[in-house]
Chain A
Amino acid sequence: MRRISLALILLFSLSHLKAQQDSVAWKLKLKEFVVTSSRFPASIDKIPSQLESRNKSELEAMPLFNVDDALRLIPGVFVNRSWGIFSRNSAVTMRGLNGSSRVLVMLNGVPLNQSSGGSVNWHLLFPDELEKVEVLKGPASSVYGNNAMGGVINLLTKTDTAKLISANLGLGSMGMYSGRFRFQGNQLKKGKGLFYNLTAFYRKGDGYILESESTRDSTCTKAFLKEYAVEGSLGYRFSEKHKLIVSYRYFDDRRGEGIKVYEDDGTYNRFETHFLNVSYLNDLSLGTIDLKAFLNREIFFKQNESVNQSGVYRLYDTHTISSDMGIWFSFKPHLLNDIFTVGFDVKSGSQDSYDQYFTSTDLISNKGTLLFYSGFIHADYPLVKNKLFASGGFRIDHARFKDGQFFIENASVIGSASIPFQGYFPENSWTQFSPKFGLRYRLSENHSVFASAATGFMPPRLDDMVRTGKIRKGMKLANPSLEPESITTFELGSASFIGKKFILKPSLYISYGNDFQYQVSTGDSADVGENTLKPVLKRQNISNVRILGFEIGTQYHILKQLQLNLSYNFNTSKITEYKKGPSDSLDLSGKKLMEVPDHQFTAELVFSKEKLNGSVSYQYIGKQWFDDGNTIELEAISLLNANIRYKLNPFFVASFSVENVFDKKYIDRKGYPSPGRFFQFSLNWSMQY
């Protein structure tokens, strides 16, 4: 069995190599090996869950401006990036659960979700670094814990060690240009030795004005973009199954928000991210060890500049340092036919933030730390050889909140409303138990069905626990007593390979969520410096939800060079119980979750012929609610995107991508228009040395 396990690892590695060499975009993937279900390679046809992937050749055929664009056409995944490449970030909704913090996103198996705000900085990675994307749908906290409620997205970067130099130049609309340089190589002798790479990336764009012409004033300016990144990794291969990789990436991103009064660049966000990852894999006689240590440190700066309705100018800076560091240890013992995986995770997340006002004297600070200690056991067991596969396990997460505090110095009218809430917060802790069980039954070589029950949870975000201050709706109070929200999902699905040309993967699921967090009015109101009283709100565990969904994904291999991918997704996410506070005028019972489209349909035609490949894709995103109270509904959106890629000679590849071909304008939830049609031409040069 140990040999089989090793063979799986080898096959997984070989599949990477093969994908690089293969220009055909549509590998039919019913028996593909994936790493996301249990942290070790497993065959997709034995996993009782829906798992989608996009390999290198498929990714090359897509118009990718950002990494999250690779997820747009995956059934059941909704990517909200309404300002295109100029968006501050992207929000990914899966399985009817809105917000990136309800989906776990990993980079090479290391979590990217931050403890401070739960979100993921999708810009950290440049699209052509991607080797493969794996998307495990449905809860997976039994293996991963935090954030794995709607699903898990695992971004896998290139692993080849060939001696290669490449450069890429991009030119796009709205003043966009970019450059990337990559140098990779090795000092391998008989499969042992060093391997390394270094990548540098730069992108700049003038952007567009977010305000419509009728409401524009002198403070409106273009939402620009400037970003650069450096990534380097150094690895040592002791043997084929024993290696150590250290990688580091630095990312500096500056994005305007379309408002400028006096300051250079106006209101803008700057993210400086340091991401260090140490990965150690060793196949011993006892079992296979996978150890990952990581540090994700984000230094966030925001310059806030505005003139309010009364004509009062305001300028303040927000400084936030968010750090997540941890060690994930996974072990697959060579016992009982390699059925078990066990793991222990330790993680520390912290936030240290302050707002410094310059048009008043306020200095408002907050900080806090969340510690997680977790252990899990997972088993994949063939109950009936080649027919019935069982998979399941559980995980226990214990979290401790500590060092929480919120203080105000030199308060003016802006900060004075928060003074009663300043001080040190009491410690808080909770324990979460997350089981999962599923069965997949293989009806024949090409047909299988599965059923599963799985749980997931999202821990409270540090920012909600420690930050008191102004938000768009009024004033938000910190709640250090917040607890995680959780979900249980029951799912039925199947996978069929029909006539060697057609893959059909439908799923039906129902989820019950508990203790979902909402901002609830405390009944008080406060003047936060706008000459008017606004409601005081506090995020609390207040509601239960029910999500009913159906999704179907198909791949039709029309010709050798032509493949059609279709997907449809329906879900209805409703709040079944809303525990109103005594002063809460809003009752959300029966309301739908915001930012979750009921219907989503995608169609993608992928073609590939020798030197030419590309795709044309259509995306329909149904209506969705803008607000918790379901009073404002966003219109449905239809988008057509296209990409073509041509290999000019052994060294040069040219590509042309168009997003939103028909220049459809739509309004996002903040009332800002989309950028409309966006194109990019790029030229890639690569050479082996």
Chain B
Amino acid sequence: MRRGIIFLFLSVTKCKYIHIGIILLFFLMAGCKENENNEPPLIHLISESGYLSNDTILKPGESFKVKLSAEKGSADLTNFVIIVNNGTEVRYLDSAMHSSSFSWNGILNKTVAKDESWTFLIRDRNGANSIRTIHLKSDTVSAFNPLTTVRTIQLGAQQNTVYGGFCALGNDSVYSVEAASLNQNLIDICYYFGPEGNTLASPGANIETGIYPDPFSPLNWGTKRETRFIYASLASGVFDSMQNDSLLLANYVPSLAKRKAKFLIANDCYYFKTASNKLGIFKVKQVTGQQSGDIIFEIKYQQ
């Protein structure tokens, strides 16, 4: 047996350059790439009653509903993006996933621009993508929507025993944490004092543990409505003079909106959008910090 092996290798070495051939063959194999079949994903705008799937004319600020579905091609879907372009390109939504199919439906608002396009893009793990676009024109005859004004809202921080800390804009009501936990489907905003100072947050925000008692904390709610905020840099008097939603429509960029308005001090203004797709703005009138403190703010939002 051993002689056989020796003979085999002696024979091999007689072919002087066979090992060089092996190296070259290896390089050749390493250099070969598989012929990849890269099918892009598919995206469809669904034409159903009440949902927009074609180009149209809308009033500035008018809401419209879109429903879409997407299926994978060669690779799983990983990214869904909505881009609105009215001369300036803005990302309305940028979300991640890893799935073979995806569906989305939502309420969008026409901007104040004369012409705009809404692009719905789905991408996959290979970087391949598919898009659908809706073009919208403004109905210039119509006016902007008027704003409902709720003059003042006073909310108490988490240890304030006088004022509730949870606000439902839909019925202009304020709730304690215990009551709020029983009305989860109504609550839009809560107020507390935490590591990021005086904070107005949506129940769906990443509220720090220990702020609220566990049985009632929004962390444990089954329904968490999500309100998102963007800091509004307004000149003096602009907030008071706002009568319609033109500024809200022009300045609220969903992809830049956060689930918390942090480190609040008097005169801070924030645009916001509720889970009911209502745009609004608030201005802090007064805030007395710490866990037993309270906040008073003025609020205006779409009717």
Contacts and interface: CB of A to CB of B under 8 A. Distances in A.
A360 interface: yes
Interface in A391-444: 412-413
Interface string A329-366: 00000000000000000000000000011111100000
Contacts of B76: 262
B176 interface: no
A185 to B, nearest CB: 6
A262 B72 CA distance: 15
A184 to B, nearest CB: 10
Interface string B112-123: 000000000101
A198 interface: yes
Interface in B1-45: 5-6, 9-10, 13, 16, 19-20, 22-23, 26-27, 30
B9 A689 contact: yes
Given A262-B98, A315-B98, A412-B91, A163 B13 contact: yes
A198 B19 contact: yes
A248 B13 contact: no
Dominant secondary structure at the B interface: mixed
Contacts of B121: 361
Given A165-B9, A310-B206, A315 B125 contact: yes
Given A248-B23, A531-B206, A313 B16 contact: no
Nearest to A232: B23
Contacts of B6: 687, 689
Given A198-B19, A315-B98, A358-B123, A689 B10 contact: yes
Contacts of A196: 19-20
A187 B13 CA distance: 9
Contact of B79 (A163, A194, A360): A360
Interface in A168-204: 183, 185, 187, 194, 196, 198
A327 interface: no
A531 B94 CA distance: 13
Contacts of B206: 309-310, 531
A173 to B, nearest CB: 31
B255 interface: yes
A250 interface: yes
A315 B77 CA distance: 11
Contact of B13 (A232, A263, A360, A689): A689
B16 A360 contact: no
B78 interface: yes
Given A165-B9, A315-B96, A358-B123, A198 B256 contact: no
Contact of A360 (B19, B96, B124): B96
B96 to A, nearest CB: 3
A313 B96 contact: yes
B143 interface: no
Nearest to A196: B19
12 contacts: A163-B13, A196-B19, A315-B125, A358-B78, A358-B79, A358-B123, A359-B96, A359-B98, A360-B96, A361-B94, A361-B123, A689-B9
When A and B form their complex, which 3 residue pairs have the shortest distance between CB atoms, in order from nearest? Answer: A359-B96, A262-B98, A358-B78
Interface of B: 5-6, 9-10, 13, 16, 19-20, 22-23, 26-27, 30, 76, 78-79, 81, 91, 94, 96-98, 121, 123-125, 127, 206, 255-256, 258-259
